[in-house]
Structure 1
Amino acid sequence: MDRENNSIKLAQWYNQVEKSGLKAFNTITNKTQLNYRTVLNYFNNRSTNASTESFNAKIKAFRAQFRGVKNLEFFLFRLTNIFA
């Protein structure tokens, strides 16, 4: 499918959700509307930011393990050694 066709299908989905009147979909429709290019990129390229999100979670867990960061330079050094 091409980008234009995917864009039309996404707009149709958005309209159907809006017509349904279900308030539970408000958050997802707002996020989809704000990030529609990224959503369309997934369907065109099958690419996601899952690896970035996973790496971010590892950094947060690492930071929480040591209860915060006092020396940013040393923190970045440790991150580089562990995850690079």
Structure 2
Amino acid sequence: KGVAFTKLAHWYKQVEDTGFKAFNTVANSIQLNYRSILNYFQNRSTNASAESFNAKIKAFRSQFRGVKNVEFFLYRLTRIFV
């Protein structure tokens, strides 16, 4: 985790030194979330399964052009995805 922190800091410094404005958004996101990013190197786990499930929920919701009955929507989600 310490090595990853050092490499991430060097990368961030290099991005700053280049002056490319296109990298500012990425660099700012990494700066705000570096602790979560570095946690990967501690236990080698990601939130990929949660992101995948979230994408499935969004796709399901978009099929029906919004949600009017939240209780029924949650019921359908549990029947389909759980």
TM surpasses 0.5 = yes
Residues in 2 aligned to 1:22 and 1:50: alpha-carbon distance in whole angstroms: 29
User: Once superposed, which parts of structure 1, at least 4 consecutive aligned residues long, lie more than 4 Å away?
Assistant: none
- 1:5 partner amino acid: V
What does residue range 3-82 of structure 1 map to in structure 2 within 5 Å? 3-82=1-80
**Could you say what secondary structure the match of 1:47 adopts?**
coil
Cα deviation, residue 42, structure 1: 2.4
Q: Compute the RMSD of aligned alpha carbons.
A: 1.2
Residues in 1 aligned to 2:58 and 2:51: alpha-carbon distance in whole angstroms: 11
Query: Size of the alignment, in residue pairs?
Result: 82
Cα deviation, residue 43, structure 1: 3.3
Structure 2 residue runs of 5 or longer lacking an equivalent are: none
Instruction: Give the structure-2-normalised TM-score.
Output: 0.89
Cα deviation, residue 64, structure 1: 1.2
Structure 1 residue runs of 5 or longer lacking an equivalent are: none
